[in-house]
Amino acid sequence: MSLNPEQKIQFSPMHRLQWEEAQQKDVILYPEGMVELNQSSAEILKLCDGTRNLDQLVADLEEKFATTGLKNDISGFLEVALGNGWIQQN
Amino acid sequence: MAGSNKTNITPPRWLLAELTYKCPLQCPYCSNPLDYVKHSNEISTDDWKRVLSEARKMGAVQLGFSGGEPLTRQDLPELVQHARQLGYYSNLITSGYGLTEEKIIQLKEAGLDHIQVSIQASTQDLNDHIAGTESFHSKQEVARLVKKHGYPMVLCVVIHRENIHQMADILAMTEELGADYVELANTQYYGWAHANRDLLMPTQEQYLEAEEIAQAFKEKVAGKMKIYYVVPDFHEDRPKACMNGWGTTFLTIAPDGVALPCHSARELPGLDCPNVNDASIAEIWHESKAFNFFRGNEWMQEPCKSCDEKDKDFGGCRCQAYLLTGDMYKTDPVCSKSPDRHIITEAIESARQSALASDEKPLIFRNSKNSKAY
């Protein structure tokens, strides 16, 4: 399973992404587990709302952080996220 | 007591809310205390709400509603709703017995995140025998309804000598039911399972064969289903890192409001486990004798004390050390470095002899009548 650059990306309805005040971190929650996210991973996942494909997501993040050249990092993380079932496409 | 460096206390992350010891099932490996009837009084809805609020404030986020059978508490939807409002990720750990579609919808609306249904075997006869209650078909129906209503579906099967030969069929059943997660929990020998150990413990050969089947299945369904395999620690040569370290991560509240560093800790002598009626969760977590008892590693004896793996497995399980050696400070006998390892070897051999015997004694089922004997 690998990322389709054309298709929109959506956060998995079987997981929950939320800010944890006590940890000062965003986390992914799922049965029997929790993943703590660093800020950049959390920013990527928050944009996975089913309205953007890879290029749109990269463009929005590059604009938000006023930078360029993020595509490799973002697609690398999204491949990991897809493999873990945190995001989906269809 | 061992004492600890209080500046290093991490907040609880997982809260296990054992709402009740009442249960329609009688599984002979139940982890509830043998004498659970002595602790049958239950704290109120308001007490539970306060516990949930206080633990959440400290940082607890994973919440299990467990028991006994948590569905026997009529205030379950109210507690689920309270938990959701606080931001918990909540899990109903249920036998599925008596869980109607109406209730599944009601709990979903209240904000329950997932449901873990236990199934005892892949066949009706064996499931109903182990559960001590006719429940196989209703469990399968509940599993389908859980899926239908969009919950991540977790099936939990406790593995022991009476069902380990069904491993392949059990896995096929979980796939057919559409499980997203499967917990294959090799029996841990506490509570009722300890009392029934000779009858429940599989042989080494059975474990190895079952593990191979489970591993192959895990690879086959990778990306589709997640398999959690709880290792049979008697057949390992290092102990489990019990509770991720005492008083570091896990908080259990028993039905009567007793706060426990692990769900078996009530069995340990001299801990004076605190009650939520007498102290706040923050006081219990930080100040109580019980939660500080085995924090850190100053309490350790040899061979743990000088072991370079002590920060990895924390000396193993305190309850297991106590149950098997009578001394809760000792190295978990599962460890091959433990001078008590022979106890494990003897237990495995004793179970093997019991399996071969023609006059094997019957299982002691977990029910009120049997509990009164302890």
Q: What is the gyration radius of the CA atoms in chain A, in angstroms?
A: 13
Q: What is the pLDDT of residue B360?
A: 77
Q: What is the pLDDT of residue A90?
A: 81
Question: Tens digits of per-residue pLDDT, A37-83?
Answer: 999 999 999 999 999 999 999 999 999 999 999 999 999 999 999 99
Residue B229 dihedral angles phi and psi, to the nearest 5°: -110, 110
Residue ranges in chain B whose pLDDT is less than 70 = 1-7
State the nearest Cα–Cα gap between B228 and chain A, in angstroms.
9
Neighbours of B316 (CB within 10 A): 22
Question: In angstroms, how far is CA B244 from the centroid of its own chain?
Answer: 14
Which is it for strands B114-118 and B153-159: parallel, antiparallel or unpaired?
parallel
Test A22 with B59 for CB contact under 8 angstroms.
yes
Q: Which residues of chain A are within 8 Å of residue B180 when distances are taken between CB atoms?
A: 14, 31
Question: Tens digits of per-residue pLDDT, B287-311?
Answer: 999 999 999 999 999 999 999 999 9
Interface predicted TM-score (ipTM)? 0.90
Provide DSSP, B310-373. HHHHTTS-HHHHHHHHS-TTSPPTTSTTSTTHHHHHHHHHHHHHHHH-TTPPPP---SHHHHTT
State the nearest Cα–Cα gap between B107 and chain A, in angstroms.
16
Q: Which of B61, B154, B223 sits opposite A29 (nearest CB)?
A: B61
CA distance B314 to B234: 17
Q: Which of B59, B113, B116 sits opposite A23 (nearest CB)?
A: B59
Q: Which residues of chain B are within 8 Å of residue A20 when distances are taken between CB atoms?
A: 59, 61
The answer to whether the beta carbons of residues B268 and B327 sit under 8 Å apart is no
Q: Enter the pTM of the model.
A: 0.94
Which is it for strands A87-88 and B14-18: parallel, antiparallel or unpaired?
unpaired
Question: Tens digits of per-residue pLDDT, B30-49?
Answer: 999 999 999 989 999 999 99
* A74 three-state secondary structure: helix
The answer to whether the beta carbons of residues B134 and B144 sit under 8 Å apart is no
Q: Which of B49, B36, B58, B40 is nearest to B77 (CA)?
A: B49
∠B128-B263-B64 over CA atoms, to 5°?
75
Q: What is the pLDDT of residue B7?
A: 58
Q: What is the pLDDT of residue B6?
A: 55
The answer to whether the beta carbons of residues B364 and B370 sit under 8 Å apart is yes
Q: For residue A50, give both structure tokens.
A: 């089913």
The single-letter DSSP state of residue B72 is: G
Q: What is the pLDDT of residue B61?
A: 97
Test A20 with B180 for CB contact under 8 angstroms.
no
Across the A:B interface, residue pairs with CB atoms under 8 Å apart total 44
CA count, 13 A, side-chain hemisphere, B98: 11
In whole angstroms, how far apart are CA A13 and each of A17, B293, B308?
10, 41, 42
Chain A positions touching chain B (beta carbons under 8 Å): 1, 13-14, 16, 18, 20, 22-23, 27, 29-34, 83, 85
B12, closest residue in chain A (CA to CA): A22
Q: Is B178 on the interface with A (CB under 8 A)?
A: no
